[in-house]
Every structure is written in C-alpha cells, then in structure tokens.
Structure 1
Amino acid sequence: MEKEILSVEQWRTIDIQISTDKTYNSPFEDVDVFGIFKGPAGEEIRLLAYWDGGNVWKLRFAPVSVGMWSYKIESTDADNTGFSGEGSIECIPYSGELAMYKHGFLKVSDDHDYLEHADGTPFFWLGDTHWTFVTEERFDESNCPKYESQFKACVDKRVVQKFTVYQCNFRDGKVNGFFGKNIDLMQETENGYVPNIEEFQNNVDKKMKYLADCGLLIAVGYAWGFDMEPNGLERYKKFAKYVAARYGAYPVAWTLAGELPGYMGDLEMNTRKWNEVAKEGARWSAYHNLMSAHLACDRPFPKIYEDEPWFDFAMSQAGHGDFDMGQSMYAEFKEMYKGHPVLESEATYEGADSNEYTSRVITAAMMRRLAYLVMQSGGCGYSYGCNGIWELQWEAGVGGIGWGDMAWWDGLELPGASQLTIFRDFYESVGWHRLKPLSEEVAQTKSFFMEASNRTQIFFTGDEKLNTIVGYMSETAMRSFVIKGVTAKAYKCWFMNPEDGTRTDEEKLLYPSGGVIEYDSNDQFANKKDRLVVLQAVED
C-alpha cells in the first residue's frame, strides 16, 4: 500500500507523531529524536522532535518553500528502530491573507535597520505586552460578560487594531514574589529535568497555536532575569532546547529573559549565564528564529550581547517615568547597538501609575510621544503596554503590584491602543523603513527665545533624497522649522493629528529657496497638541 503524502500550506505547521515501544527512565534527557527535511530547491531543515509524554515524540514542521519535501527520522539511540522511517510532505501555496504567512518568517534587513519578512517585505513591530500570559491569562474563562475567553478577547482586539506582535514571557521557575506568578514548566526530578507535559498540553499549547493562527509574531522570554539564581543555568538551557523544538516552527522571536542584566546581585555572572541559555536556544533553532533580550530600565541603557552571533535586534526599556525620556537617549541606544535594529519594548504603560517623584496616571498622550519618538530616532517599532493587561489583572482592586490595578477588560478599552493603529497606518503610508533621522545640520527647529531642547525640538526623519520628510512635534514642541539640502523644486506640506488621524490643515505647497525650506507657524502657543508634519516632493 502506497504511503499517504501529507499536505500543508507554506509557512504553516504540520505535526508528525513518532511512537516507540521502548521505555526510557527520562525520555527528555535520555534520547534526542530528529527529522531531516529536504525541500524542492535543496533546502535542508534539521528539526528536533519534542517529547509529548509517555512514548510519544512529535516533529512540528513548517515548510519554507512550495513543492515536495521529503523527510527521514533518526535519533541518538541507534538501537531503537522505532525512531526511524521516511515520508513526504507536499507544500502548497498559502491561501490566506495574514502577512506572516503571505511573506514568510522574519529576518534582519540587509542594512540592519529593521526587520523584514523572508520575501523582503518590511515588518512593522507593534507589540502588546502580556508578561503573565501563561500563568494569569485564561483561555477558557472570562469574568466579563462581553467575552467568553479572556485570552481570545485580548488577542482578537489587538489583531483588529493592527498589532503585529504579542510580547510575553513563559515565566518558568520557582515563585519569585515580584509580580504575577511563575510556573514549573521544567520540573527537576530524580531522573533529571522533565517538561511539565500536562501544563504544556492544557495551557501553553493552545495559546501559542491561537497566536500563530492569528499571524502574530510571538516575542517570548523564558523567564525573568533574576530567576536564574534560584533555578539554575542547566534548567534554563534545557528549557530553551525544549521550547525551540515545541514552538520554533511558529512565528516566534526569543527574547531570553526580563530586565537583563538585572538590578542587584552579581550582574556580570547573571549576564554570562543567560548568554549560555541564549546560545543553547540558538543551537536548537532550526528556523533561525530572531533572538534578543529584554533590557533593564537603566541610564545609560545596558549594553550587553551586542557582539554575540545569536543577537539580532535590541530592545530598549525607557521605563515608566523613571528617567527623562528624550531623543538623545534613543540616539545613544542606536549607537550602542550599531549594526542591529532597535525598538522600544517597555515604556509608559497607559493607565498605570508613573514611577516619578510625584506619581501620575500615564495618559495616551504620554505613551504616544514615546512611540513617535522612537520611530523618529531610527527605531523599527514599539511595544505598548497598559494597566490591566500587561500583568493580566482579573478584576479591579484585587492584586496588582502597585502601579495600578485596573480590571483587564477596562484596560483593553483604553484609547492609546487605537491611536497606535493610526501610528502604524501613518508610518506605512510614508515608507517608514526608508526614513532615517535627520541631523540638526539638515533639520532645525526654530526657537525665538531659547535653544531647542528635547521638550521643544521637532524630530525629523527623511529618505535618502529628502523626497519624503516627516517631523513629530510633541505638545511642548515649537512649530517652525528649517530644512536644508533639499533638491526638489516644490513640496506638498500637510499636518496630521496623531490622536485621531485627521489632517489638521489643508495641504499647501512650499517652494525651497537655494535648497532650503523655511516654515514659520502662527500657532506656536495657540495649539498645544502633538502633531505630525509631512513634506513630500512634487513636480511643480
């Protein structure tokens, strides 16, 4: 009888189950099982199978090209003939509309300034933060009558709002007493380390699959940085290996651990140990999933791992009012991680209480300023967070860690997330990946009575030929500017309100003189809302 040929769409996953009659004392520790997949153009992917309980292992495979793939199974236990066999898989074109599968998994762009899909399409990082998605977010339950599932409600809302990244953490480890809960996803037994199969099957699997089915990039860390000391290096190396096998065929980016290198204890040792974990994760990453580390909130920003082969992009944490936040900090960060895309991974969680000497509730406007500031400083994306969601607050007034305790369904409706839909739409409309920060020699803020500062300066980006120029004016910024070195004869100039996306003024034509554009506004003090200004070259 001819063996059935399996079929799957490009970039989507198919699971191949492998069973054996042989029993191992510690299946996870005693044997490694592999699938070697060969594609139509000579591609080869060597996948580690994940142990799924009992005598069952599974290969999770996502073909990267259309056509016939062959595979064979082998293992480190040469005497076990149960770990053998061959098969074929037909990869057919993806038929849906999700960008992740239309354009393929992610990589770093050739100029190392942003992330892009396999086919070269730029990827706009717009993340939503759910640090406790495994331990706190409930898949089959909701205490809000509008929704049947807390987890699905949060994900579905952000998908509609055009978010592209779900930023989270497995929180593997013993209880740490900081925020949320940890969970023993990797358990230490007398026979060595054993994955918590029941927890993976009944909790983590369905969340990871749902996120993948929504086409989101799952940016996930293994644990929090300070979890290393009580749990140990070997545990996290084993964990990194296991989740690479179980979830590496999904659209994932491994973000190592939270708040690295940390704030107390032996930070150098902590950094070295987590580096070993990252190397182990990269070793088993058959799809070369992107890797980074969620950094601590320090000034200057921590500079770690930038020269490591596994390190792909840099994630700053500007914080929640801990320090001043201006363009200079992102310029310094970009210089520190030269040769890597940079993005903001944690700043000004909307609705939370700020970490300032005089605490205040963080507004959408405060959050929005940081989002535009990072893009105008050469960043490639922004991760949003909000009260009630970042730590998954089941109900108001119960729990929380002191930065606000809004119920999750109220946090889900805060206005800033919808304003980030406008943020993404705007940048994609102006070709954001071609825009670079303009120096003060090229773009100058006109200030009549003081030197321009982070509070008063307009932050400009432009493409190589200055055919498209974008400026962001915070609510405290001046409204007049000079642009030098332009070559077009005329520019269409328009303004946009980033709060609601409306254009605030009629388009006007500006005519450079001697390669210089000068714009003088008459609303320096009348209109103290943030604004975007766009100049686009036109033929006169």
Structure 2
Amino acid sequence: MKIIRQDCGIIEGVLKSVQSMADGSGDVVKEIEFVSGEGRVVKAAAFWDGGRTWRVRAALPEVGLWDYRVDARDGCFLPEQMAGSIEVSVPETQHPTLSPGRLRVAADGFHLEDGNGRPFFYLADTAWNGVLKAKLSDWERYLAVRKEQGFTAVQCVLTHWRSFPADELGEKAFVGEKPIRINPGFFQRLDDKVAAINRHGLVAALVLLWACTEKDPGHYLPEEDAVRLARYLVARYGAYRVIWMLGGDGDYRGGKAERWRRIGRALFGDNSSNLVTMHPGGQHWVADEFRGESWFDFVSYQSGHGDSDEHLRWLVEGPPAKDWVNEPHRPIINQEPNYEAHHSYHSKRTFEAYEVRRALYWSLLVSPTAGVTYGHHGIWPWMEEPGVPLDHPETGSAPSWYKGLDSPGAVSVTHLKEFFSALEWWTLRPAPELLETQPGDANPARFIAAAKAETNDFAVVYTPVGGSIPIRCKDWQPGVYRWYNPRTGEWGAKMQFSDSLTTPDQQDWVLWIGR
C-alpha cells in the first residue's frame, strides 16, 4: 500500500487490484486491519475508486509503525499487496476540537462526549446539499464562518436525492439495481468537501440513505442494495470525525422499523466506530423502535416546520418532553426544528429569528440538554440564486446561501452557544415543577421551559414572551438570578432571588437562577 496523504490524523493509502472493474457491479469494499507496535487494533476498509484503484482511509491514533492485512481472498490483489507495514508520522494539522478520539455517549446516557470524557455540545447547521452542490471555495468560506459562530457540526446528504437528482455532470451516486453500480467519480467530487468539515474543526453529520419520497435511495432501493451503498459510504468517509444518520427524513415507525433495524445490523454489527442515529420525518418519534439496537446511539427527532397549536404541543408536551426518563437512556437531539426564512406549513408565515430561538431553547430544555440543530432556508438546499428549492414548493422562496450566513437567526445561535458554554449544561434535566403555573397550558406558543442542574446548583428558564414568571422552590433555595438576552447575548446584573420575577421587556428571555 502506498501512503499518499496524512491529514488531521488520517492516513490515505492506495492499492492496485489485479484487474480493472469496469462498472462497479462487483465487490466495492474490502476489510482491512491495522495493528500498531503496541498491539492496538484499528479496523478499516479499502473502497473501490474506479478501474484498478482502491483507497484506504484510516484514523490511526498512534505514531510509529503499523502492520496491515487486507481481507481479500478472491484474487483481487496480488499476495504482496495484501499485507505490509506503514509509518505514521505526527500530523501537521490537527484541530484541537477533533484531537481526543471519537465521539461517544456519556456514561449517564444523556449527552455526548469526546474521547477524553469532555462533554460535546452538538450544535449543528443544516446544509443537506452543501457537499453535493457547493463550490469548494464557497464551502471553505461557509465552514469558516460557522466555526467562528460557535457551531460544532454540519448535517449533509451524501448521495443524489429528491432535491439533488444529479450532479453538475449529470451523474448520480449509483445506477441500476440488484446490484447497484457505484459511481466513484460522483464521490471523488465530494471528497475534499467532506474532509474540509473536519479540517475546520467541525463534526460531519452525514446522511447515508435519504428516505422521504419514492425519489430517494433509502425509500426505493432493495434492502441488499441499501446496505451495499451505505457500506461503501462508511468505508469511504468513516475515518473522519463523523456522526452517521442511517436514514434521512423517512418513516421508521411501527412495522416499517424492522427493515431499518436489519440494515443497521448488517452495516454496523454490534457497534460502530462512529455514533449512529436515525433522522426521522416530521414529528415522528422512533425511540422505542431503535432503543434496543446496539448500533443505535442517540435519539434524533424533527419537530418540523409547522406552527399550529397541535404542532407546538408535540414538542413541548409530547415525546421529546416525556420519553427521556425511559431506559436505556439515550441523548435526545432535535435535528430539524423550524428553519429560518422557511414558510410554516400551517399559517404560511415565514419563520424568523424569534421562532428559531423559541424552537431551539425549547428543544434544549424539555429534554436533558445534549444539543440542537439550526437551519436556514437558503443554506439547506444550497441556493446559488434566490428561488424555491427543487421539489419543495410548499416551503416558500429561499434567498441565496450566502444571505443566510449572518442572518439574525444565526446570530441568535451564537448567543445560545455562548450562554450554554458558560454553564455545566450537561447536568441540566427538565424541571417543569419549578413553575407555579404554566402559560403553555392555555396557549402552547407561551410555553415556558425550565430545567435544573442535577446538583441543584443552578436552573435555566426560557420564556418566549415577556411577563411574570412565578417560581416554585419547595426543596431548593436559590439565592440569585440573572437575565440573559437571547437576541443580543447580553447578561443582566446579578440580583437577589424572589419567588416571582418579571422579564425586562415583553420579548423572549432566558433566566438563570443560582445559589
């Protein structure tokens, strides 16, 4: 194996097969095992990259000599290529947020952490079409801005789908069926953009099988082909710091879940080196369907793009607010609240920064705080020019992607990140009992979300409208409070606590209460 690149702790090597594979209909993934001089084992895969070329990407955590062995007994490679040694050097580039190993679920089951046990706040932006459509220079600009704004992850799709039927050359990720024929050229045009996400210190949250409509691979592919495609994607991009969304926007409820459970088991076995979740359709709750799967790490949901009373109550009173007590515990993350500049499916109003903030803070406080996703209507479809996103007529006209970079909603996300970064946010648990009365009972748009640290050291309350907040303190005696302005990021002065507090004005506010 010839090593051609070492970047951010990832090695990339090339193997040459005995014969050329013309159409991608054969086996496109070969297992490979690396063993360090200290006996550490890392499993990876070689993936077919066209003709006689096979590539290997592996995250090898130790410098020094590593032995490798390719599991390919079909004569694909000459014997001398199937085993050997490589030298891993100190990486020239390593972003500090990506250095301490793979992300994992914390021992308490309620949040994510890095390899050193430091809590990881999942704060993602939605760029479904980003790696598919963006020019590399534009993508680099976008990632730099999002990193500066405090985001920690970016959500993207990796194949053609409903809103991206083919790339600029008119090509798809694969063609045919039983078996599909992988098109390496399609993915070669994505490689640098996927790698750039990590290079900018962000985690790549990648959809393997978008599954919303009959136009989407996760919906129409036979199960064997779905596994084949997903296995290829995992082999190609699994060395990076990624989170896998096995399914995207699909219906995995009830009996429909069994197909996805089988795909997950075939793909990941008992575990995965990267975190895995399912991104379900709007207001679908699938925790029970996947809670018992060993490969399934955390619960994602989509509160969606509506504003009816029923829609709002699903978020603040429904499964996200109730399911977190069930065991085994899993982190709970809203991966698709209402997008900024997107039309509501109910009122047809355009969501602005206020509705974005409301959904984000609600999501973070009605479940144990683990993270949340933001979205902008110009960025998720990667609009080069204003217009209605392809095959999404009900969503309304979208601005160009660069208009969304510094939008009021994105600024609010920065302030949200600054607020939670000042706290031990991973200790927060929903605490509706802190409120004497709940305005949301009569009107869900006025729902006040409250959470308290397990240590009883502090509490956080978000109110979407100004007014009085009656606090109940039976077994807890706080001493001080401060207001936080989620629109400007400004903190108010620390004040002596009283049972009834009034917001500085009639807009939305965050209340911090401490000892």
TM-score when scaled to structure 2? 0.87
Structure 1 residue 44 displacement after superposition: 0.8
In 2, the alpha carbon distance for the partners of 1:284 and 1:7 equals 31
Query: Which amino acid is the alignment partner of residue 475 of structure 1?
Result: V
| RMSD of aligned alpha carbons | 3.1
1:369-425 Cα distance to aligned partner (Å, 9 max, x none): 111111112131111111111112221136552312222222223211121111112
Are 2:281 and 1:281 equivalent residues in the alignment?
Answer: no
Are 2:505 and 1:527 equivalent residues in the alignment?
Answer: yes
Contact 2:356–2:409 (Cα < 8 Å) also in 1:
yes
- The residue correspondences of 1:175-186 to structure 2 (distance < 5 A) are 176=162, 179-181=163-165, 184-186=172-174
In 2, the alpha carbon distance for the partners of 1:181 and 1:24 equals 25
Contact 2:198–2:204 (Cα < 8 Å) also in 1:
yes
Query: Which amino acid is the alignment partner of residue 83 of structure 1?
Result: Q
Q: For structure 1, which segment, 343-352 or 82-91, has the greater mean C-alpha deviation from structure 2 after superposition? A: 82-91
Structure 1 residue 455 displacement after superposition: 4.6
Partner of 1:481: 471
Are 2:351 and 1:362 equivalent residues in the alignment?
Answer: yes
Partner of 2:418: 425
1:453-475 Cα distance to aligned partner (Å, 9 max, x none): 74555422222231122222221
Partner of 1:138: 134
Partner of 1:167: 155
Q: For structure 1, which segment, 472-481 or 206-215, has the greater mean C-alpha deviation from structure 2 after superposition? A: 472-481
Query: Which amino acid is the alignment partner of residue 473 of structure 1?
Result: T
Structure 1 residue 216 displacement after superposition: 1.4
Query: Which amino acid is the alignment partner of residue 119 of structure 2?
Result: P
Task: Sort the Cα spacing of 1:270 and 1:438 in 2 relative to 1 into closer, same or farther, 3 A.
Answer: closer
1:164-223 Cα distance to aligned partner (Å, 9 max, x none): 1111112346xx5xx343563123389x4332111111x211111111211211111123
In 2, the alpha carbon distance for the partners of 1:171 and 1:30 equals 19
Contact 1:456–1:476 (Cα < 8 Å) also in 2:
no
Partner of 1:415: 408
In 2, the alpha carbon distance for the partners of 1:33 and 1:345 equals 33
Flag the structure with higher helix content: 2
Query: Which amino acid is the alignment partner of residue 362 of structure 1?
Result: F
1:96-132 Cα distance to aligned partner (Å, 9 max, x none): 443122x222011111101110110111111111122
In 1, the alpha carbon distance for the partners of 2:194 and 2:495 equals 49
Partner of 1:86: 84
Partner of 1:396: 386
In 1, the alpha carbon distance for the partners of 2:154 and 2:495 equals 40
Query: Which amino acid is the alignment partner of residue 328 of structure 1?
Result: E
Contact 2:95–2:201 (Cα < 8 Å) also in 1:
no
- The residue correspondences of 1:491-510 to structure 2 (distance < 5 A) are 491-504=479-492, 506-510=493-497
Task: Sort the Cα spacing of 1:70 and 1:495 in 2 relative to 1 into closer, same or farther, 3 A.
Answer: same
Contact 1:317–1:347 (Cα < 8 Å) also in 2:
yes
TM-score when scaled to structure 1? 0.83
2:236 to 231, 246, 253: 246
Contact 1:172–1:223 (Cα < 8 Å) also in 2:
no
Partner of 1:143: none
Contact 1:74–1:83 (Cα < 8 Å) also in 2:
no
Are 2:134 and 1:116 equivalent residues in the alignment?
Answer: no
Query: Which amino acid is the alignment partner of residue 420 of structure 2?
Result: Y
2:291 to 263, 283, 306: 306
Structure 1 residue 439 displacement after superposition: 4.5
In 1, the alpha carbon distance for the partners of 2:441 and 2:361 equals 22
Contact 1:36–1:45 (Cα < 8 Å) also in 2:
yes
1:312-344 Cα distance to aligned partner (Å, 9 max, x none): 011111011161244222213434675111100
Contact 1:376–1:461 (Cα < 8 Å) also in 2:
yes
1:130-175 Cα distance to aligned partner (Å, 9 max, x none): 122344x2225xxxxxxxx3323322221111111111112346xx
- The alignment partner of 2:18 has SS state of coil
Structure 1 residue 4 displacement after superposition: 10
Are 2:431 and 1:438 equivalent residues in the alignment?
Answer: yes
In 1, the alpha carbon distance for the partners of 2:322 and 2:453 equals 21
Contact 2:28–2:232 (Cα < 8 Å) also in 1:
no
Structure 1 residue 433 displacement after superposition: 0.5
In 1, the alpha carbon distance for the partners of 2:322 and 2:463 equals 21
In 2, the alpha carbon distance for the partners of 1:230 and 1:114 equals 34
Partner of 1:48: 45
Contact 1:473–1:531 (Cα < 8 Å) also in 2:
yes
Query: Which amino acid is the alignment partner of residue 43 of structure 1?
Result: R
Partner of 2:203: 217
Task: Sort the Cα spacing of 1:498 and 1:93 in 2 relative to 1 into closer, same or farther, 3 A.
Answer: same
In 2, the alpha carbon distance for the partners of 1:499 and 1:491 equals 26
1:462 to 444, 447, 452: 452
- The alignment partner of 1:29 has SS state of coil
Task: Sort the Cα spacing of 1:5 and 1:131 in 2 relative to 1 into closer, same or farther, 3 A.
Answer: closer
Contact 2:29–2:232 (Cα < 8 Å) also in 1:
no
Task: Sort the Cα spacing of 1:463 and 1:452 in 2 relative to 1 into closer, same or farther, 3 A.
Answer: farther
Equivalent pairs counted in the alignment come to 497
Structure 1 residue 234 displacement after superposition: 2.2
Q: For structure 1, which segment, 342-351 or 331-340, has the greater mean C-alpha deviation from structure 2 after superposition? A: 331-340
Are 2:375 and 1:382 equivalent residues in the alignment?
Answer: no
Query: Which amino acid is the alignment partner of residue 370 of structure 1?
Result: A
- The residue correspondences of 1:139-154 to structure 2 (distance < 5 A) are 139-140=135-136, 149-154=137-142
In 1, the alpha carbon distance for the partners of 2:267 and 2:468 equals 48
1:249-297 Cα distance to aligned partner (Å, 9 max, x none): 00111101222216xxxx7665333333322331498x61111111111
Bigger Rg, which one: 1
Task: Sort the Cα spacing of 1:57 and 1:486 in 2 relative to 1 into closer, same or farther, 3 A.
Answer: same
- The residue correspondences of 1:14-29 to structure 2 (distance < 5 A) are 14-23=11-20, 29=26
In 2, the alpha carbon distance for the partners of 1:450 and 1:57 equals 57
Partner of 1:317: 302
Structure 1 residue 431 displacement after superposition: 0.8
